[in-house]
């Protein structure tokens, strides 16, 4: 038995008795000291045999670490809160309680709290100790009830009982870490493999693409089934096809109404995405983009349809008063339809797709730059040859261990293409500056030799001036705080300002509203009022223009 001492006052030495398995109440040890004639600080060792002969301490605390900690907390609070003059009376109560054949610390806690009719309440306990004991008793009762409810509802609790495998240790000697293995864990590991196999089998037999397992909705489904527990039955064929589908449609319509409210407040862009199906039918998807996000509207078979009517109908569906621009590809039929739409609808723009424009610039490089024509054609042939043959693709993936062969290059226009083809942020306010920076970098790459970079510039300008350069791009560039207050910003550029006022005239039909915008532009230019606040200045390079 190991004995440790903590000196409380000149009259008391409080030992805490500890052996390998049982902790004996320190309060009970105080009682032993109080009831001996050794109050002059005589060492415990000299009287250990006498005390053990007179008083045989009863183990009060269980081996369970959590219960042991709770009981030690009780004992600590008791003899740190009760006044020394009353300690002897309380300890006599403790001797009476612990001397009983049953009870122990359980009886003592209820004795101090006064919560049991069959236990005599303590008359000397301070109020704060009594309140604390009542709280501890209530928490212990709630824990016990919660465990009982789990036992009543869980049919597998008998299987899930822990088997204490204390013999399994890591390392050598007494200090080795003990590993506790439960029957539940062993069974779950085996059952997890079976469940995974069944999920995979469902994917295989239903011909579901493997990347569907990354779908957030699939993960949510698995979590909700797990929370439901044993006995879940999936919906019937009729439910999925009728009832649940109608519910999903109602939820989608409700979500769409929330988006429509945002369109009225901030405006929106109609985007078309054309493609060809396996039957060689031309299909066009229409999507609506706004600061709130992008939503799918509907699809059309455009094999036998007039493009102007198609664009006009989608504007009618969304509402002309909310549409800022209609974005399509740059094919001739779309361009003609877009120009007709702008003549009919006076308060919106038709805008060609920026990514498609840059793709066409790269195609023009191949056609018009004879120096690189042969190299580009050979590269195209090699790429087409490999990626049109499944066996070669498999050999390539095996050789590269599943990685793509990518050569890092510095291509200014590729930077712009990645910018406009990304979903990370709205890029309307960055296209104008991106194209300007790309041209400057191309000039530097040719060592500022005009005859070298001028053919490239001419190809870019031809597409930019005729297709990509739009008033919306100029206005968005002008109002972008990321650039406007930079020393290199071209605030006197006629082309940029003309684009700004062109947008104001076309998009804002109310003259009074247009006048207010003009007054705010002065505050914007001189960074006055809200534009000059420290918070605003600090956020210029951080916040996106759409968030202002």
Domain presence at residue 128: yes
Judge if 424 and 523 occupy the same domain.
yes
DSSP β-ladder status, 23-24 and 12-18: antiparallel
Any domain includes 375 = no
Same domain (yes/no): 330, 442: no
242-290 pLDDT, tens digit per residue, is: 999 999 999 999 998 999 999 998 899 999 988 887 777 888 899 999 8
Q: Which helix (H) or strand (E) holds 237?
A: helix 237-238
Cα distances (Å, whole numbers) of residue 522 to 332, 495, 515: 41, 19, 11
pLDDT at 440 over 60: yes
* Total domains present in the chain: 3
For residues 536 and 543, give the distance between their C-alpha atoms in angstroms, rounded to a whole number.
9
Identify whether residues 271 and 414 lie together within a single domain. no
Distance CA 288, CA 263 (A): 9
CATH number of 313's domain: 3.30.420.60
User: Between these two residues, 450 and 411, which has the higher pLDDT value?
Assistant: 450
> What pLDDT is stored for residue 342 in this prediction?
92
Which range (194-203, 335-344, 372-381) has the least confidence? 372-381
70 in a structural domain: yes
pTM (predicted TM-score): 0.57
Let me know if residue 147 belongs to a domain: yes
- What's the pLDDT tens digit per position in 362-418? 888 888 887 777 888 888 888 888 888 888 888 888 888 877 776 665 577 777 877
| Mean predicted confidence (pLDDT) in 236-244 | 93
Give the Å distances, CA to CA, from 443 to 259, 271, 402, 488, 546: 44, 34, 37, 18, 32
Dihedral of alpha carbons 362, 363, 367, 373, sign: positive
Domain annotation covers residue 289: yes
pLDDT greater than 80 at residue 103: no
Taking CA atoms, 166 is separated from 18, 19, 170, in Å, by: 21, 19, 11
Who has greater pLDDT, 409 or 543?
Answer: 543
Instruction: Flag whether 175 is in a domain.
Output: no
Let me know: does 62 contact 23? Beta carbons within 8 Å: no
Domain final residue pick, 153, 173, 192: 153
Closest to 544 (Cα-Cα) out of 491, 481, 478? 481
Is a pLDDT exceeding 60 seen at residue 90? no
Do 25 and 142 have their domain in common? yes
Tell me, yes or no, whether 443 and 530 share the same domain.
yes
Q: In this structure, are 435 and 541 located in the same domain? A: yes
- Mean pLDDT rounded to a whole number for the chain: 74
Is residue 358, in this structure, part of any structural domain at all? no
pLDDT band at 60 (very low <50, low <70, confident <90, very high): very low
Q: At 101, list the tokens.
A: 């054949």
Is there a single domain that holds both residue 147 and residue 258? Answer: no
- Give the pair of three-digit tokens for residue 538: 């600090």
Is the pLDDT assigned to residue 167 strictly greater than 70? no
The span from the CA of 289 to the CA of 269, in Å, is: 5
| Residue 543 and residue 455 share a domain | yes
Residue 333 sits in the same domain as residue 466: no
- Domain-terminating residue out of 126, 153, 180: 153
Residues 346 and 443 in one domain: no
* Listed residue (403, 325, 413, 327) closest to 365, CA to CA: 413
Domain boundary among 352, 375, 390: 352
Assess whether 126 and 253 both reside in one domain. no
Q: Name which of 226, 329, 345 is nearest 285 in CA terms.
A: 329
Residues 276, 417 within the same domain = no
User: Where in the sequence is the domain holding 37, given as residue range(s)?
Assistant: 2-153
Tell me, yes or no, whether 186 lies in a domain. no
pLDDT at 172 over 50: no
């Amino acid at each position: 038995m190991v004995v440790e001492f903590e000196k409380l006052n000149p009259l008391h030495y409080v030992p805490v008795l500890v052996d390998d398995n049982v902790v004996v109440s320190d309060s009970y040890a105080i009682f032993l000291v109080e009831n001996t004639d050794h109050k002059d600080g005589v060492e415990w060792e000299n009287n250990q045999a006498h005390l053990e002969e007179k008083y045989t301490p009863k183990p009060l605390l269980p081996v369970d670490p959590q219960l042991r900690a709770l009981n030690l907390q009780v004992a600590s609070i008791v003899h740190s809160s009760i006044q020394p003059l009353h300690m002897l009376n309380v300890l006599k109560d403790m001797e009476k309680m612990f001397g009983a054949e049953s009870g122990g610390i359980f009886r003592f806690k209820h004795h101090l709290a006064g919560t049991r009719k069959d236990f005599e309440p303590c008359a000397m306990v301070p109020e704060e100790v009594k309140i604390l004991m009542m709280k501890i008793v209530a928490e212990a009762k709630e824990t016990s009830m919660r465990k009982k409810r789990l036992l009543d509802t869980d049919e597998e609790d008998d299987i899930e009982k822990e088997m204490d495998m204390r013999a399994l240790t890591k390392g050598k000697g007494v200090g080795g870490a003990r590993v506790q293995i439960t029957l539940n864990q062993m069974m779950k590991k085996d059952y997890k493999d079976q469940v995974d196999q069944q999920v995979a089998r469902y994917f295989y037999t239903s011909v579901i693409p493997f990347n569907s397992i990354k779908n957030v909705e699939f993960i949510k489904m698995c979590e909700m089934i797990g929370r439901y527990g044993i006995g879940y039955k999936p919906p019937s064929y009729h439910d999925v096809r009728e009832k649940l589908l109608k519910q999903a449609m109602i939820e989608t319509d409700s979500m769409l109404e929330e988006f429509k409210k945002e369109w009225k407040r901030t405006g929106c862009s109609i985007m078309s995405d054309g493609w060809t199906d396996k039957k060689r039918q031309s299909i066009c998807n229409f999507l609506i983009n706004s600061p709130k996000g992008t939503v799918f509207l509907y699809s059309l078979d455009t094999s036998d349809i007039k493009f102007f009517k198609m664009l006009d109908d989608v504007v009618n569906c969304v509402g002309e008063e909310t549409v800022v621009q209609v974005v399509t590809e740059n094919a001739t039929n779309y361009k003609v339809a877009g120009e007709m739409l702008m003549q009919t609808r006076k308060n919106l723009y038709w805008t060609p797709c920026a990514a498609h424009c840059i793709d066409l610039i790269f195609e023009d490089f191949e056609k018009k730059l004879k120096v690189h024509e042969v190299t580009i054609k050979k590269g195209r042939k090699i790429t087409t040859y490999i990626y049109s043959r499944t066996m070669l693709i498999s050999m390539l993936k095996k050789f590269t261990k599943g990685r793509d062969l990518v050569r890092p290059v510095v291509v200014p226009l590729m930077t712009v293409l990645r910018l406009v083809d990304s979903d990370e942020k709205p890029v309307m306010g960055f296209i104008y500056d991106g194209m300007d920076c790309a041209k400057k970098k191309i000039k530097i790459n040719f060592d500022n030799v005009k005859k070298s970079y001028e053919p490239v510039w001419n190809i870019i300008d031809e597409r930019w001036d005729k297709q990509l350069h739009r008033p919306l791009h100029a206005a968005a560039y002008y109002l972008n705080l990321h650039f406007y207050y930079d020393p290199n910003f071209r605030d006197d550029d006629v082309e940029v300002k003309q684009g700004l006022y062109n947008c104001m005239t076309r998009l804002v039909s109310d003259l009074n509203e247009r006048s207010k915008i003009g007054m705010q532009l002065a505050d914007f230019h001189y960074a006055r009022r809200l534009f000059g606040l420290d918070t605003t200045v600090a956020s210029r390079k951080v916040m996106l223009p759409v968030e202002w």
